[in-house]
Amino acid sequence: MSVLIVGSTALDSIKTPKAENPRLLGGSASHAAVAASFFSPVKLVGVVGHDFPKKYVRLYRRHKIDLEGLQRLPGKTFHWSGEYEANMNNRRTLLTELGVFETFTPTLPKSYQTSQFVLLANIAPSLQHHVLNQMRRPKFVVADTMDLWLNIALADLLKLLPRLDGFMLNDGEAHQLTKEDNVFAALKKIHKLGPKYVIIKKGSHGSILSGPKGFFICPAYPLHTVVDPTGAGDSFVGGMMGYLATAGNSINGSIRRAMIYGSVVASFCCEGFGLTQITRTKRKQINQRVKKLEMLTRF
């Protein structure tokens, strides 16, 4: 089955202590779509401007991503620029040019509206609502978010949560949302806001799922060198949704393994700037890392 993914489609200018890379393909939907494409067909919903490079359209196409839902508007593509500190955890935004994103309203092609697996990747909660309003009985809807929406669109986000099957956020955001320092106490509170499956991402410390079958402690794949963590969380949830869409099994029966696949895809994402490394990755390499993670956690 295919996954419908809505989110940002952007140009990212990324600076780390070791290098600087201008105008890479980025955005939550780009990262999630490429990650999901290793496992299932992807239908992309997003918007780009007149300056969006053709090579990035070709990149989507190489990953067999359905672009019927990608709007092309007059104006500039969303451009984000950020800088990472040496520890690769702290980053600061240098520049945000919304461009065509400012007036973006995602309208779903008819062929998208019956998708069973829906990923509302990081984007304004009002747009996540807008996409859901156009869907007909999806089977499994997951949303990601970011601290910005907790700050400026909390009411919209709180209204979204009961509409979701799964919700994903990082540990800092979970603290911001619940005021709980303890991750397990935070998970409990977030369930009360609606979603049956809640995943808290902890960067290089892995992630924690809380669902009907209890907790799952999901490791991050060990990396000696992180080149650029931008999009790692998007890759994680994209990989997870892609895997779930083709697993066939029940969600409960597949979600742990789906998270492991997401975790591995995210590790490849971190090994190159933007999408450069992940687009070179083969499914076989992903399977090898999944096997290795099994070895690394067995006791």
Give the residues lining the site for its own copies (CB under 8 A): 86-89, 181-185, 188, 202, 204-206, 208, 214-219, 222-226, 256-257, 259-260, 294-299
Query: What is the closest distance, in whole angstroms, from the C-beta atom of residue 269 to its own copies in the complex?
Result: 16
Nearer CB in complex with its own copies: 219/272: 219
Helices (H), 87-203: 125-133, 147-152, 154-160, 171-178, 183-192
Query: What is the closest distance, in whole angstroms, from the C-beta atom of residue 20 to its own copies in the complex?
Result: 19
The Cα 157–Cα 275 span in angstroms is 28
Query: What is the closest distance, in whole angstroms, from the C-beta atom of residue 206 to its own copies in the complex?
Result: 8
The Cα 9–Cα 11 span in angstroms is 7
Nearer CB in complex with its own copies: 26/242: 242
Query: What is the closest distance, in whole angstroms, from the C-beta atom of residue 223 to its own copies in the complex?
Result: 7
φ/ψ (deg, to 5) at 135: -90, 150
Helices (H), the chain: 28-36, 54-62, 125-133, 147-152, 154-160, 171-178, 183-192, 232-247, 251-270, 283-297
Nearer CB in complex with its own copies: 203/238: 203
DSSP 76: P
Query: What is the closest distance, in whole angstroms, from the C-beta atom of residue 213 to its own copies in the complex?
Result: 9
Query: What is the closest distance, in whole angstroms, from the C-beta atom of residue 204 to its own copies in the complex?
Result: 7
Give, in degrees to the nearest 5, the angle at Cα 129 between 242 and 7.
Answer: 45
Nearer CB in complex with its own copies: 280/291: 291
State the burial class of residue 86 (Cβ atoms within 10 Å of its Cβ: 0-12, 13-18, 19+). exposed
The Cα 189–Cα 149 span in angstroms is 18
Query: What is the closest distance, in whole angstroms, from the C-beta atom of residue 24 to its own copies in the complex?
Result: 22
Nearer CB in complex with its own copies: 114/182: 182
Nearer CB in complex with its own copies: 91/129: 91
Nearer CB in complex with its own copies: 134/204: 204
Q: Return the closest-CA partner of residue 211 out of 180, 175, 254.
A: 254
What's the chain's Rg over C-alpha atoms? 18
